């Protein structure tokens, strides 16, 4: 496993990661029915779970459009950096949570939206995590997953052996449908430049039936 605890403090210093999160946030906003959250409205607004949030680059870009967002990660280092940023920004609707849906009991809360960026390929059991996402979504809730298209293993290099080498879209769609999702759609939202190559990133959106 990549040591995300060690990498957390320098994570936001990479302009590509900042740009990637900004562009993926714009794609999620245009694909999902998120509106600006008006704190004066009586309606509760959209409650979201970000899974594998890292330092919250994507979460900060989306939080103005969410009533509340729980930002979950397994790396305490990432969560510590995130907590400092939330405190500095006074972002009262952002809630960090140490959570591993692969091992921990399901949280009691249910969400209108679950979204994730570059985390799915770190989770061994893709079918299993999609089932967990389905279970913690409200009926009619939206899933938005951004990750690598299938690549040859060069993205992480031969020394990293515990990751998926991206995903075949048709295979991921089948797994999502088997987990109970419908309306599965893919778009290419970004290309990660690395060592003279470019690695496409898809956004898959899907919906839990009502």
Ligand X SMILES: C[S@@+](CC[C@H](N)C(=O)[O-])C[C@H]1O[C@@H](n2cnc3c(N)ncnc32)[C@H](O)[C@@H]1O
Question: Which residues of this chain interact with ligand X, rule CB under 6 A?
Answer: 4, 17, 21, 51-54, 57-58, 72-75, 78, 100, 102, 117-119, 122-123
Closer of 78 and 144 to ligand X (Cβ): 78
Closer of 35 and 149 to ligand X (Cβ): 149
Residue 142 CB, nearest approach to ligand X (Å): 17
The residue whose Cβ lies closest to ligand X is: 54
Residue 65 CB, nearest approach to ligand X (Å): 17
Closer of 28 and 123 to ligand X (Cβ): 123
Q: Is 37 helix (H, G, I), strand (E, B) or coil?
A: coil
Residue 144 CB, nearest approach to ligand X (Å): 12
Residue 176 CB, nearest approach to ligand X (Å): 18
Closer of 164 and 207 to ligand X (Cβ): 164
Write the DSSP assignment of 81-108 as a string of letters. HHHHHHHHHT-TTEEEEE--TTTSPPPS
Strands (E), the chain: 47-51, 68-73, 94-98, 111-117, 137-148, 181-194, 197-208
Q: Is 143 helix (H, G, I), strand (E, B) or coil?
A: strand
User: What is the strand order of the sheet 181-194 is part of?
Assistant: 94-98, 68-73, 47-51, 111-117, 137-148, 197-208, 181-194
């Amino acid at each position: 496993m990549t040591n995300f605890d060690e990498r957390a403090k320098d994570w936001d210093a990479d302009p590509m990661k900042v740009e990637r999160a900004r562009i993926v946030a714009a794609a999620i906003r245009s694909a999902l029915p998120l509106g600006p959250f008006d704190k004066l409205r009586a309606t509760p607004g959209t409650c979201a779970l970000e899974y594998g949030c890292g330092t919250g680059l994507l979460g900060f870009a989306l939080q103005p459009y969410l009533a509340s967002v729980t930002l979950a990660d397994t790396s305490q280092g990432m969560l510590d950096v995130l907590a400092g940023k939330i405190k500095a920004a006074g972002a009262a609707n952002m809630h960090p949570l140490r959570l591993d849906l692969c091992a921990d009991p399901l949280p009691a809360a249910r969400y209108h939206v679950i979204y994730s960026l570059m985390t799915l390929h770190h989770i061994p059991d893709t079918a299993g995590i999609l089932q967990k996402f389905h279970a913690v979504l409200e009926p009619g809730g939206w899933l938005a997953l951004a990750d690598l298209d299938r690549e040859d293993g060069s993205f992480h290099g031969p020394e990293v052996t515990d990751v998926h080498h991206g995903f075949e879209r048709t295979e991921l769609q089948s797994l999502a449908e088997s987990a109970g999702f419908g309306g599965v759609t893919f778009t290419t939202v970004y290309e990660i430049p690395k060592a003279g190559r470019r690695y496409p990133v898809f956004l898959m959106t899907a919906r839990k039936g009502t």
